[in-house]
Amino acid sequence: MATSRATSRATSRLLRTAGTALTAAALLVSGCSSGSPSSGASTGASTGQPTNSRTDPGGADRDAATATLKPLPATVPANLRPYYNQRLTWGECDIVGFECTTMRAPLDYDAPSAATDLKLAVSRKKATGPGSRIGSLLVNPGGPGASAIGYLQQYAPQPDAVRARYDMVAVDPRGVARSEPVTCLSNAQMDDYTRIDQTPDSDAEVDRLTSALRSFAQGCRTRTGARLGHVSTAESARDMDVLRAALGDEKLTYVGASYGTFLGATYAGLFPSRVGRLVLDGATDPSLPARTMNRDQTAGFNTAFTAFAEDCAKKRDCPLGTSGPEEAGRRLSALFKKLDAHPAPTGSPRPLTESLATSGVTAAMYDEGAWPVLREYLAQAQKGDGRGLLGLSDAYYERDPDGTYANQMFANPAVNCLDLPGSFANPDEVRAALPAFRKASPVFGESFAWAALNCAYWPVKPTGTPHRITADGAAPILVVGTTRDPATPYPWARSLASQLSSASLLTYEGDGHTAYGRGSDCIDTAINTYLLEGTPPPTGKRCT
């Protein structure tokens, strides 16, 4: 497939944000985030168990949680001191200008043992100057499952002012990419899995979908083993504190996007006294149960699709008509239905199915810069050529041209299904919820609802429940929300900012997922000033 410069830029952006996607192949429990108050199978104060915790059996829908994440003791326990006191030995990376190393972390923080230690991959780009070095700045692009190191090495050169004063650092979280990766299926099996019909029209199709979900889950158990029960967000947050100490920093400075905001907020809740300057961009709400988050995201993608449709209607070549979102939704739904019955050829052995087309369209909702490409590829698909949308879907799934998949779509459910009880316990619960999901999005609602069934078959029981994070005593934290963000709806940012006792809310009035580095001088200046000077913008500040 030929790739234009615009397509290349859009695909690059999609790869950057793919870790935040609500997958159309039933890989996620709650899109880009979930809540995890505990770290491993056990509970109690040592793992930051929330107080007044309420369970959510079967993913039952309900109001936001009243539980609050408890901080861990400020003093490092004796059995964890060897991890905190470790020395990192840096060496060259494959990419010039970056250093790489590994750090040790206990598989189970409640029962650390050198025999089961994990080796987590770390990379950094040292401060370049001019100006005095402030410290280390840890970054995470979200997911869960996106490689923080890959993100760092591709995007750390910007912004110049921040790079000059900080060592830019990333650790691939446990279970992700270079850090003891979760593995579930072969590449060929993954190709089959992404094509599974997730708008089942009969009991037989429901059976095929649930069989695929069970096989995926069993593959994760077989190929990953005991590590599958120790990839929670709380454990990754504790790994970040070990890394902070190993880097020699008294406090953590951090920029997290999408799911990375939940990871950063969890760190703040567990270690409020060690919070430095935290930017949480594209914020998630840890107090919500999985089903509510799924439905919120469904509405978020509908908001993004409405913005795309309104923009498309202004173009003479719009493949979805020129009368606006309602007509556009009907035409896109008709295309999906057509592909469900007759997948489109792509010039390869992999035809474009409804599920692959849905993931391709979903991917383009993350960045308005991809809208021209989406218009082109939708027009192609309407004419029976599925190559363009298949390419967007492959970028979304991090599938290389040679058919190799990154582990992102394996790590994603592994974290999400551990962090929260699943949205649904069985197909009947999905069927009952379909009207609410269709109301949230007539185009995406059905597929997103069925996608949320995956955790029902997960081989490891969840260790977390919904909870609030207050991080009492933490230094000022900056929460950023985008008003028409598809994956992390803006109300989540408002909610997280209201929970965190020291948070300021910065709002970007615009389209796309996250705000920092996406073209708003107002947003970038506010965040850079906070990182460089420690002064957050006044809460309520809005940018365009």
Sign of the Cα pseudo-torsion (61, 65, 67, 72, in order): positive
- Contacts with 386 (C-beta within 8 Å, 6 or more apart), sequence order: 339, 343, 344, 345, 346, 351, 352, 356, 357, 380
| Mean pLDDT computed over every residue of the chain | 89
Confidence of residue 507 (pLDDT cuts 50, 70, 90): very high
Q: What's the mean pLDDT in 89-103?
A: 95
Instruction: Give CA–CA dist 298/425, Å, rounded.
Output: 19
C-beta of residue 135 within 8 angstroms of C-beta of residue 402: no
Confidence of residue 251 (pLDDT cuts 50, 70, 90): very high
pLDDT for 204-228, tens place per residue?
999 999 999 999 999 999 999 999 9
3 state DSSP class of 243? helix
- Of 53, 258, 359, 520, the active-site residue reads 258
Q: What's the mean pLDDT in 474-496?
A: 97
Please say if 4 is a catalytic residue.
no
Q: By percentage, how much of the chain surpasses pLDDT 90? A: 85
Instruction: Tell whether the model's pLDDT for residue 310 goes beyond 60.
Output: yes
Q: What pLDDT, on the 0 to 100 scale, is given for residue 519?
A: 92
Confidence of residue 158 (pLDDT cuts 50, 70, 90): confident
Instruction: Give CA–CA dist 412/408, Å, rounded.
Output: 6
Strands 118-125 and 91-92: unpaired
Instruction: Give CA–CA dist 178/173, Å, rounded.
Output: 9
- Of 230, 513, 520, 524, the active-site residue reads 513
- Of 485, 495, 502, 524, the active-site residue reads 485
Burial class (CB in 10 A: 0-12, 13-18, 19+), 538: exposed
Instruction: Tell whether the model's pLDDT for residue 23 goes beyond 90.
Output: no
Q: What pLDDT, on the 0 to 100 scale, is given for residue 3?
A: 27
Q: What's the mean pLDDT in 12-34?
A: 31
Please say if 428 is a catalytic residue.
no
Instruction: Tell whether the model's pLDDT for residue 451 goes beyond 70.
Output: yes
C-beta of residue 408 within 8 angstroms of C-beta of residue 399: no
Q: What pLDDT, on the 0 to 100 scale, is given for residue 61?
A: 52
Instruction: Give CA–CA dist 287/159, Å, rounded.
Output: 32
Instruction: Tell whether the model's pLDDT for residue 191 goes beyond 70.
Output: yes
Confidence of residue 155 (pLDDT cuts 50, 70, 90): confident
Residue ranges and CATH numbers for the domains of the chain are: 78-180+232-290+468-543 (3.40.50.1820)
Q: Give the pTM.
A: 0.90
Instruction: Give CA–CA dist 256/264, Å, rounded.
Output: 6
Q: By percentage, how much of the chain surpasses pLDDT 70? A: 88
Instruction: Tell whether the model's pLDDT for residue 16 goes beyond 60.
Output: no
Q: What pLDDT, on the 0 to 100 scale, is given for residue 160?
A: 87
Q: What's the mean pLDDT in 96-125?
A: 97
pLDDT for 38-86, tens place per residue?
333 332 323 444 443 333 333 345 456 679 999 999 999 999 999 999 9
Q: What pLDDT, on the 0 to 100 scale, is given for residue 156?
A: 72
pLDDT for 261-307, tens place per residue?
999 999 999 999 999 999 999 999 999 999 999 999 999 999 999 99
pLDDT for 412-449, tens place per residue?
999 999 999 999 999 999 999 999 999 999 999 999 99
- Contacts with 341 (C-beta within 8 Å, 6 or more apart), sequence order: none
Question: What's the DSSP call for residue 150?
Answer: H
Which is higher by pLDDT, 158 or 310? Answer: 310
Give residue for tokens 């000033």. Answer: 529
C-beta of residue 380 within 8 angstroms of C-beta of residue 392: no
Q: What's the mean pLDDT in 473-486?
A: 98
Give residue for tokens 């020395």. Answer: 87
Please say if 230 is a catalytic residue.
no
